[in-house]
Structures are given as structure tokens and as C-alpha cells.
Amino acid sequence: MDEEINRKIMRSNFSSPEELKEHIRLVQAMVSEYEKKMYETYNYDDKCRTKIREWRNKLYQMAHENKITQESSDNIDELEKTARLVHRQIGKADTNQSVLDKSTLKLMGLNYTSKDIENALVETKEKMKKNRKQERAEVFLLTGAFVLFVCVCILILFDKLVSKT
């Protein structure tokens, strides 16, 4: 049984992490069975204890190495996802910056107090009100001009009809 456990511990090529876990579980069961057998036959001594401890340490190292390689591949995936996210956020920030540069209200720094910002908002609201009033006046004038145009057209048509008869 010693040789079989040693042979199984020396195996190093596994196709998947699940296969490695199954292999470690099998070898641990064999080591436990071997330890129990030694107890039952009263052959459990320091040499046997050392051998069992070495086997368990090798199994632990095997599992730990697999965990490290698995974590490193997981870390690489996480880093790639983070890099993609950062790239996307940089693109959005560039877009937002260009939109902000094109806007009429532009903050040049963060040295503004809340009162300065409130004053700027009040001024902007007043400008918007003035613009709305001006727009309403222009719409009213355009409507009046259109009505006048239609009336003149109707008068011309009426005059043509009356002059023919």
C-alpha cells in the first residue's frame, strides 16, 4: 500500500481541477485507511507518523499549487474585465468632456462656492426667461405676418373674381 500511495502522490498531470480534487480525495482516503490499518496492527510508530505527515503535506502542496494557478487565471480574467471597464469609462469621460466643452455654461475649476453657483443659476434662469419672451414675441409677429399674408392673398383673389364679372 505504501508504494501505491507514493505512486498516486507522484502523479502530476490532470486534465481538470475537478480531476485533481477527486485524485486528492482518493489519496487522502488511502492515507487514512493506511493510518487506520497501522493503528489496528499496532505498527503505528514515529516513522509511520512522519511518512503519513509527508504524504499529507505533499497532497496539501498539490492542492495549494492548483489553487494558486487557478487564482492567477481568475485574477487575469478580473484584470481584463477591469481594463475593459476602465477603457469604457475613459471613453465616456472623453465624450462628456467634449459635450461640456461645447456647452454654454462651463466650470473652469472647482473653486466656486455654493453662492457663486446659485448666482450663476439665477442669471441663467433670467437669460432663459428673456429668451422665451423674445421667442414668444417673434412667434406672435410671424403669426401676424402670416395672417396678413393670407388676408392679402384672399383680397387679391377676391379682386380678381370681382373684376372678371
pLDDT, averaged across the chain: 82
Q: Please, which pLDDT band fits residue 134 given cuts at 50, 70 and 90?
A: very high
pLDDT at 60: 85
Q: Is 11 helix (H, G, I), strand (E, B) or coil?
A: coil
pLDDT at 89: 87
Angle, alpha carbons 65-71-74 (nearest 5°): 145
The mean pLDDT of 152-165, rounded to a whole number, is 90
The mean pLDDT of 29-46, rounded to a whole number, is 84
Q: Is the pLDDT of residue 68 over 60?
A: no
pLDDT at 165: 67
Q: Please, which pLDDT band fits residue 107 given cuts at 50, 70 and 90?
A: low
Regarding predicted confidence, which is higher, 138 or 5? Answer: 138
Proportion of the chain in helix, strand, coil states, percent, rounded to 5: 85, 0, 15
Tell me how far apart the alpha carbons of residues 66 and 12 are, in angstroms, rounded to a whole number: 11
Q: Is the pLDDT of residue 139 over 90?
A: yes
First-to-last alpha carbon distance for the chain, in angstroms, is: 129
Question: Which of 17-21, 118-122, 160-164 has the lowest average pLDDT?
Answer: 17-21
Report the b/e string of 44-82 with b at 16+ CB within 10 A. eeeeeeebbeebbebbeebbeeeeeeeeeeeeeeeeeee
pTM above 0.85, yes or no: no
